[in-house]
Structure formats: structure tokens, C-alpha cells
Chains A and B, each alone.
Chain A
Amino acid sequence: MNVARYWRTEKTRYGLVGETCRVCGKPIFPPRDLCPHCTEAGQDLRTFGGKGEVYSFAHVADAPAGYTEYQPYTMALIKLEEGPLLTAQLTDVDEADVRIGMPVEMVTRKLKEEGENGMVVYGYKFRPVIAASR
């Protein structure tokens, strides 16, 4: 796998960098050339705070190639405080404790390894908000 494919989206994966639409003012994540809400071009970069809540979740028993190391894991839709939904794994949580509406925060974790000589890819996962950090 070509390294460029991954560093291209590095800011988004490491820093939750998205956009605000200059035309309609809505928050956009992940960033894209045309606003998904008003289809106009022209956005300003913004960093999302990384706080949100679980919108939905599924416990994955059969991971695809490249992700079996973490099996079983929980996939979730996260609703960020600023509004957008995103797809991410939950981490540092007991499967039985996951609930819709559970407050979560972003952390950076290893996403996958592409074999012995391949890329090790890092990115965002979400964990329950630790009381002291709220």
C-alpha cells in the first residue's frame, strides 16, 4: 500500500480536522470539496473538539482482514457535540456497558497493520469520557 494514501488524510484521522461551510455555516466532517448540505464550494478548516455521544453501535465478532487483532470490537456511530456523525471503533470499554447516548471522547489508536512489512495505520477511536476529564 502506498504511504501517500494514508498521510493524505492524516489531519482528519489524527486531529478530527473538518470544515465549516462558508455559505451555509454548517459543520462538515469529514472535509470535502462541496458542502454536503448546500452543495456550494468554499469551506474553512476547523478542528472538532472530539467530544460526543454514541448514536448507535454494533459488536463485531468477525473482523475483516487487517483488523482481526482487535476482534471482537465495537463499531459505533458517534454524534459529535458540534453536530456531525462519524463512524469509529469504541475502545477502553466493556462491550456490555455500551449504551446509545453514552458520552465519549476521541483518542488516537492503532487502526490496523497491513501485514509484516506493510503500513501501521493510526486514527481516531472513541472511549467513554473519564469523569475527571469532563
Chain B
Amino acid sequence: MREVSIVGIGQTDVGEHWERSLRDLAVDAMIGAIKDSHAERVDALYVGNMLSGELTAQQHLGALLADWGGLGGAEACKIEAADASGAAAVRQGYLAVASGVHDFIIACGVEKTTDADTETSNAAWSYGTDAEYEGNQGVTMPAMAGLMMRRYMHEYGVAREAFAPFAVIAHANGVNNPHAMYRSPISAEAYARAGMVADPISMFDGAPLCDGAAAVLLCPSDIASRFSEKPVRIRASAAATDRLALHSRNDVLFLQAAFLSAQRAFLQAGIGPGDVQFFELHDAFSILAALSLEACGFAERGKATHLAKGGQFDLHGKMPICTMGGLKARGHPIGASGVYQIVEAAQQLRGEAGANQVEAHLGMTQSLGGTGATAITHILEV
């Protein structure tokens, strides 16, 4: 296996892009990643996307974006793993380079949710659950997160308000990210007053569905310095799955896939949770942030909200999370979010995070699909 590095990053602003289509956004991010590097060719393109067929009647994104992105003839296909599609595309790119099959890869995550009405996009987002035994009953993603959050509150004796720090941290960090959808801070009081979407999930617990695209360009580490002044090494790439339906899991409050993928990533990198200096986690809902921290070993079970309250995960805390706003404030363009996390971690490690810069040479990202049935973890280092 060859070592793999990131030599180019690109991202569009995240938001409601009424004047731009899925292909416009993806090509923008791809060109950004190519221009950011000195790569002269791209051998293959992996597109992370969940819902292009359902929301814009467009599949075959590999060929579409290779064509419109000027990659004439390159191998290309779409990778789907619900909300973790983008991270899955990066992992496919990693595997292609590590194996020696390809030298220059683009992994591009893209989602265009605003071409469909809100009811349709919300329904489509829930296609990442079990269609016959969850989706058929009328679940939404906020409802699924609500089932997890209510049980968490019950088992650990935690109030709804205890989850406020996750939204507060994300919004505080989004303020200084020019690509973020929400750039205004919120207070714990505003969190407590927020309207309910799927009680106990409020509008401040859930990340907004929106449009966006992000891309990374990967190549073998031994030649990476020729193609970037600041290559970022991928020290680990690991994926795992859990039972798809929440009701089929032995423990609905333990993200087994998150645990397994983090353990595999730690093993690959030869490190432990204590070595991670910042963590871009999957805060599609605040409860998922808490469960991800607990599954990865950054908090004991039932204690994530306590650590958050103590400032552990603040930008200048012991282990910052969501340093550029996370899914909550940067926005959650579903299949693109996993790539945004990696682009933002690379910004931090390259010293390009502006006012949100943290002192770090090693960071971790973790993207979850649906209620956590897929988890993909990457560890990056400079």
C-alpha cells in the first residue's frame, strides 16, 4: 500500500444556490481543487452524492462531471452511502491511490437539495433509513434523531438544554468561515427557546439541508511535495457499518460503526484518541455529535454533554470540534458534507483557517450515514 496525500482542495459556498445547478457547483469545487494543486492530470473521479436521482432526475454523475469538469475519458462514478457519501468517495479515492491503480484522483462531494420542494427533500433524506420498516412508518431524519435523543435523556438523566453547547460551538465557529451557510452566533438561551421539529429535536439541533460541493485531489505521498507546497498526509482511512435500522441494534445509544471505524483508523495511524488535536464530527443532529464523541473514545458514555459544557470542545478547548462551523452552521449538503469535513481539516493543518486557526498537526474527521449505520473516519497529518 502506498501512502496518500491531499494536494488540492476546493469548495463552494454552502447555502441555497438558486442560480446554480448540481453540475455548476461540482465543477466549481473540482476546478478549485485542481487549481490549488500543480497536478497535470486526473486519472479518476469519485463523486459522493446521495439524492441527485430523487431531487434533480440526474444520475450518472461520474460521466456528467468528468465531461463538464474537463477530465475527458477519466474513470468516474458516483459513490452513495447516505450522508456519508462524500467521505465514502474520498475513501474510494484513497484506496485507488494507495493500491497503485491510479496516481491522481479527485473525490468530489455534491448535493443540490433546493431543486425540489422541502417536503420532497426531507422525505428523500430519510431514504437512508430502512424503507420497509422505518421509512414506511413515516419517519423523518429529525424524528430518528429524536428517538435517539429522548432515550439518551432518559437513560443518562440529561435535560434537552444540555445539548445546547453543540449548536453554540458550531455557530460560533461558523461566523469566521466565509463558506458557511450560517455566520451568526446563537446563545444557549436561543437554543432553549427554539421551535420544535421533532420534539425533543428543535430547529437548533438539526443541520440545514442545502446546496454545496467540495473536492480534494489526492496523489501518492512520495511525490506530493511536487504538487503542493503543503501536502496533507492521510494517516488513516477506515469505514464500518452497523445494522441499518435503529430498532435492530443491540444498543440504540452506541454507534457501533463509529466505534469500529475509529478503532480501525487509530490502529492504522498508530495513535489513540488522546493524540487527536481537533475533530470534525458529524453533527447533523446534536445527539449524533454526542454519540460520535462517545463511540470514538473522546467522552465516556453519557458524558459528552458534560464535557461540552466544560468547554472541552470549544475552538480553544482541549479538543476543538466543528472548527469551521460543522454541519450545523456550515450547512449539510448531504453527500458533500463528508468532503467539506476533510477540506476544512486540511485548511486547519495547512494553517489556512483564518480567525478559526487551531494549533494542530493532526486532526480527525468522521462522517455518518443515516442514523450511523455507515461511519467513515479519516486521520490527517502534516
Chain A residues near B (Cβ < 8 Å): 9, 13, 30, 36, 55-68, 70, 73, 75-77, 84-89, 100, 111-112, 121, 123
Asked whether B196 lies within 8 Å of A87 as measured between CB atoms, the reply is: no
Asked whether B154 lies within 8 Å of A75 as measured between CB atoms, the reply is: no
Residue of B nearest to A58 (CB): B146
Give the residues in chain B near A89, CB-CB below 8 Å. 137-138
B120 at the interface (CB under 8 A from A): yes
Asked whether A58 lies within 8 Å of B198 as measured between CB atoms, the reply is: yes
Give the residues in chain A near B146, CB-CB below 8 Å. 57-60, 75
The one of B138, B143, B246, B248 in contact with A112, judged by C-beta atoms closer than 8 angstroms, is: B138
Stretch from B128-136, B225-233, B289-297, B327-335 contacting the other chain: B128-136
- Shortest C-beta distance, B340 to chain A (Å), equals 25
B139 at the interface (CB under 8 A from A): yes
Known: A58-B200, A87-B247. A75 touches B123 (CB 8 A): no
Give the residues in chain A near B36, CB-CB below 8 Å. none
The one of B123, B140, B145, B252 in contact with A77, judged by C-beta atoms closer than 8 angstroms, is: B252
Give the residues in chain B near A63, CB-CB below 8 Å. 119, 138, 140
Asked whether A75 lies within 8 Å of B137 as measured between CB atoms, the reply is: yes
| Alpha-carbon gap, A26 to B18, bound state (A) | 52
User: Of residues A58, A76, A77, which shows the largest number of chain B Cβ atoms within 10 Å of its Cβ?
Assistant: A58
Give the residues in chain B near A85, CB-CB below 8 Å. 247-248, 252
Known: A60-B140, A77-B147, A100-B150. A9 touches B119 (CB 8 A): no
Asked whether A62 lies within 8 Å of B123 as measured between CB atoms, the reply is: no
Chain B residues near A (Cβ < 8 Å): 118-120, 122-123, 126, 132-134, 136-140, 142-151, 154, 196-201, 243, 245-248, 252
| Alpha-carbon gap, A9 to B134, bound state (A) | 13
Asked whether B147 lies within 8 Å of A111 as measured between CB atoms, the reply is: no
Asked whether A30 lies within 8 Å of B132 as measured between CB atoms, the reply is: yes
Give the residues in chain B near A87, CB-CB below 8 Å. 133-134, 137, 139, 147, 245-247
User: Of residues A55, A56, A86, A121, which shows the largest number of chain B Cβ atoms within 10 Å of its Cβ?
Assistant: A56
Asked whether B150 lies within 8 Å of A58 as measured between CB atoms, the reply is: yes
| Alpha-carbon gap, A65 to B137, bound state (A) | 12
The one of B118, B201, B252 in contact with A58, judged by C-beta atoms closer than 8 angstroms, is: B201
Known: A59-B198, A70-B138. 5 other contacts (CB 8 A): A58-B198, A59-B146, A60-B142, A61-B199, A123-B136
| Alpha-carbon gap, A90 to B238, bound state (A) | 39
Asked whether B134 lies within 8 Å of A68 as measured between CB atoms, the reply is: no
Known: A58-B199, A76-B147, A87-B247. A30 touches B133 (CB 8 A): yes
Asked whether B136 lies within 8 Å of A121 as measured between CB atoms, the reply is: yes
Give the residues in chain B near A121, CB-CB below 8 Å. 136
Would you mind naming 15 contact pairs between A and B with Cβ atoms under 8 Å apart?
A30-B132, A58-B150, A58-B199, A61-B198, A62-B142, A62-B198, A63-B119, A64-B126, A65-B120, A66-B123, A67-B138, A75-B143, A77-B147, A85-B248, A100-B150
Residue of A nearest to B196 (CB): A61
Give the residues in chain B near A68, CB-CB below 8 Å. 119
